[in-house]
Structure 1
Amino acid sequence: MPIDLILWKTTKTIQVLKGNLLKMKSKLKTPTSKSVERRSDHNIPVDDGNPLLEPDPEILLPQTQAFDIEELKKMSAAFVRYDVYGTLGRGKLPWPEKILLAVGLAFLVPTRVAMGMSILVLYYVICRLCTAFFYPNREDDREDYAHIRGWQRAVIVRSGRFLSRLLLLVFGFYSIRETSLSKEVDGQLNNEVDYCVLSPASMDQSEELERPGAIVSNHISYIDILYHMSSSFPSFVAKRSVAELPLVGLISKCLGCVYVHRGLKSSDFKGVSGIVNERILEAHQDKSAPQMMLFPEGTTTNGDYLLKFKTGAFLAKTQVLPVILRYPYQRFSAAWDSISGMRHLILLLCQFVNYIEVTKLPVYHPSEQERKDPKLYAEHVRQLMALKGNLILSDVGLAEKRVYLTALDGNLSMRNVLQHKDD
């Protein structure tokens, strides 16, 4: 190769390198002694107004992320934990709490797990014996034992209520404080809430007509299900996969659960709504049929808030029984809000004593206007429960809860959080 060609290529290469160096230099600024500071808690450089490189707009500093989390907590206040164990149940514990937790892990958890499994297996055997020679009804390709009559149904219901209360006792709920507001109190209640009106004719209805087909309750924890089983043994709406679980699957069929697949919203959703409405009307008319237990919020909260109600429990246009649950606590909150299921169960079993407070409101009879508008009916019952339960109304829901939990795990910045919420 000629020497002049080699020199020409070398010159071009040097010019390209020089151009790149000038571009890099344009992004550099003269560093000072205060150019880089490190945060003691994150050990990450902080912008002091004179950075070495221009900041990447896509990267948020930890200080900004912390601010975003605090803003997100305000938006998702219904799911924030305030107990000793803190956010996600991973807070820094004081030494006395660590000692109590260690004692609970060593002695309470093994004992309670063994006793709880024994009760579960015992009730499974009872359900298996009572359904051994019974041909079930089938709804949505699932076996349904809710319509068993005779001694089989009596054994399933009475043993189920007793063993559910026994299981609550094993979990540390030694006493349950229940308050039922009578019809005499309901007169004052109607003066406070002008949309909940019971006519004299309604108050003189017979016991059969007074029986509501559906019970609506705020949703705080899986313990809610155990309480309602021990109280009235109703049917629930459950995920389709529950029917396939060992032990629990058969028990859910004996409860008469209506199964739904959350991923399907078209024909499957309409089918489930139709089944729920039929079951509510049947329970209203037939005393031997199980009532439907519905959590219209659609997810759990920390117990201080009441989310926007879905209309499923109110489409049947018949009366409902509102029930308000609370879980007072000193150290650990029984609310299953923003904590994993397994961690919550273990910490719950470590507590020496747990508490439940229940307030049963009078049966709510919808007005003619509410019968025509299920959304109005649901909103009026929601406001009534918030008033009598001293609960804060909130319009967030399951979607916001998922975003909040994802943000707590450190996977989203505020910008991504809001984008995810919009999606």
Structure 2
Amino acid sequence: MEYELKALAPAPPVDPKPEPDERPLLKIDPQTPQTQIPVTNQSIEELEKKYAAFVRQDVYGSMGRGKLRLSEKLLLGLGMVVLLPMRVIAGTLLLVIYYVICRVCTAFLTPYREEEQEDYAHMGGCRRAVIVQSGRLLSRALLFVFGFYWIRGTSRSNEVDGQFNNETAPRDQSAELERPGAIISNHVSYLDILYHMYYCFPSFVAKRSVAKLPLIGLISKCLGCIYVQRESKSSNFKGVSGVVNERIQVAHQNKCAPKMMLFPEGTTTNGEYLLPFKTGAFLAKTPVLPVLLRYPYKRFSPAWDSISGKRHLILLLCQFVNYIEVTKLPIYYPSEQEKEHPKLYAENVRQLMAHEGNLILSDIGLAEKRVYHAALNGLLSQR
């Protein structure tokens, strides 16, 4: 009887075994707050239309993982056998040489410290001259190793800003007061940094982790980089902004001080678009020098838009010839209204750069780029 009652008793509900989540995992930066990025089932065509500023148009396709024709595979294989080893060795040698120069020039010196920043850009004399001149020379040599044998540069006349900036440089001011405190550039690739190092060896804004990288860390301190925690919204944000403004004003007034090089878009694009500008470069109310960079290509695009850094570097080094075009616009002098409204100042400079560079204005930014990368990575992994 007891056995029959047990048989008739309903069995306790058993939770079904959860199905394993087969969605691809994204690489998470341990220092970055983890937020949920939705990976949708949108087609690649829909994603490319929505996030056009980050879409790759070269023969390697989305994320550099597209299908290649036989001829492209042969060229890539030849580049990996012939070019890649030589360029890796030459590039590493140049990097080590410059690191040794920086190490020798900063020996027995205490770095300048301010607001949790640390750099050697404030030192003067022969040591500073050696760091700057050798840095410019070796930056150009590294671009040559990467296949940029020629750099095509043009400069626009002062008449170009007539319809965008109705306030020209004051004629009665000295040359020191007319000097720009910051260089403003569109951001296409990490190669932008190498070009600007060769052009004028400015200071950059970099992630705090850069200061701890082998070799690169010391070089960034010699450049006078300002380090920020990109995702941080802590109380030191205003301190970093204050350091940037102070550096810009000092560079505006002192010709011996390094200029600040800023990418107000905040991230890279495919080179055909211009994203909204952040106002950090325009809070100091000083003139700025707009510079436009473009990387023409036939097979591989040097733009670092939607491709991993390792894959991008390998494909770049396997490219036989790479091209870069630089357009330097006239110094932009803000009006009184622009000085009082940094957003207006930033937008007017952006409109000017888009007009002169034939760039398409876009209203998306870094957040949308991350969504695009996550969705694209998910779709390609499911293929």
Q: What band does the TM-score fall into relative to the shorter chain?
A: 0.7 to 0.9
Deviation of 1:155 (Å): 0.5
Paired with 1:396 and 1:390, the residues of 2 have a C-alpha distance of: 18
- Identify which of 306, 310, 322 aligns with 2:278: 310
Q: Does 1:131 align with 2:106?
A: yes
- Identify which of 315, 324, 343 aligns with 1:356: 324
> 1:175 is matched by which residue type in structure 2?
W
Indicate the residue corresponding to 1:32 in structure 2: none
Deviation of 1:206 (Å): 3.3
- Identify which of 52, 57, 65 aligns with 1:90: 65
Deviation of 1:133 (Å): 2.7
SS at match of 1:357: strand
Counterparts of 1:239-388 in structure 2, within 5 Å, are: 239-388=207-356
Normalised TM-score (structure 1): 0.80
CA distances 1:98-136 after superposition (whole Å, capped 9, x unpaired) = 001001111111100100010001001111111113222
Deviation of 1:264 (Å): 1.6
User: How many residues are aligned here?
Assistant: 352
> 1:301 is matched by which residue type in structure 2?
T
Paired with 2:298 and 2:311, the residues of 1 have a C-alpha distance of: 18
CA distances 1:211-243 after superposition (whole Å, capped 9, x unpaired) = 101001000000000000000100000000111
Counterparts of 1:162-181 in structure 2, within 5 Å, are: 162-181=137-156
* Residues 275, 364 of structure 2: 8 Å contact kept: yes
SS at match of 1:409: helix
Counterparts of 1:107-186 in structure 2, within 5 Å, are: 107-183=82-158, 185-186=159-160
* Residues 149, 321 of structure 2: 8 Å contact kept: yes
Q: Which deviates further from its counterpart, 142-151 or 276-285?
A: 142-151
> 1:197 is matched by which residue type in structure 2?
N
* Residues 184, 290 of structure 2: 8 Å contact kept: yes
Deviation of 1:205 (Å): 4.1
Deviation of 1:411 (Å): 6.7
CA distances 1:5-36 after superposition (whole Å, capped 9, x unpaired) = 959976x98xx9xxxxxxxxxxxxxxxxxxxx
> 2:305 is matched by which residue type in structure 1?
D
Normalised TM-score (structure 2): 0.88
SS at match of 1:323: strand
Counterparts of 1:66-85 in structure 2, within 5 Å, are: 66-67=42-43, 69-85=44-60
CA distances 1:111-165 after superposition (whole Å, capped 9, x unpaired) = 0010001000100111111111322211233431011111111111100000000
- Identify which of 193, 196, 221 aligns with 2:165: 196
CA distances 1:222-267 after superposition (whole Å, capped 9, x unpaired) = 0000000000100000000111111100000000000001132232
Change (3 A) 1:158 1:8: closer
- Consecutive unaligned residues of structure 2, counting only runs of 5 or more, are 12-39
Paired with 1:8 and 1:343, the residues of 2 have a C-alpha distance of: 63
Change (3 A) 1:376 1:101: same
> 1:307 is matched by which residue type in structure 2?
L
Paired with 2:4 and 2:139, the residues of 1 have a C-alpha distance of: 90
Deviation of 1:203 (Å): 5.1
SS at match of 2:261: strand
> 1:248 is matched by which residue type in structure 2?
I
> 1:322 is matched by which residue type in structure 2?
P
Paired with 2:5 and 2:267, the residues of 1 have a C-alpha distance of: 74
Deviant stretches of 4+, over 6 Å: 7-10
> 2:275 is matched by which residue type in structure 1?
L
Change (3 A) 1:249 1:9: closer
* Residues 149, 322 of structure 2: 8 Å contact kept: yes
Greater Rg over alpha carbons, structure: 1
SS at match of 1:410: helix
Change (3 A) 1:132 1:101: same
Paired with 1:205 and 1:383, the residues of 2 have a C-alpha distance of: 27
Paired with 2:300 and 2:192, the residues of 1 have a C-alpha distance of: 16
Paired with 2:117 and 2:151, the residues of 1 have a C-alpha distance of: 34
Indicate the residue corresponding to 1:65 in structure 2: 41
Q: What is the RMSD computed on CA atoms of the aligned residues?
A: 2.0
Paired with 2:187 and 2:171, the residues of 1 have a C-alpha distance of: 29
Paired with 1:379 and 1:410, the residues of 2 have a C-alpha distance of: 35
> Percent identical across equivalent pairs?
70
Change (3 A) 1:409 1:154: same
Deviation of 1:342 (Å): 0.2
* Residues 115, 243 of structure 2: 8 Å contact kept: no
Higher RCO, Cα 8 Å, sep 6+: 2
Deviation of 1:198 (Å): 3.0
SS at match of 2:236: helix
Paired with 2:187 and 2:226, the residues of 1 have a C-alpha distance of: 18
Deviation of 1:73 (Å): 1.6
Indicate the residue corresponding to 1:48 in structure 2: none
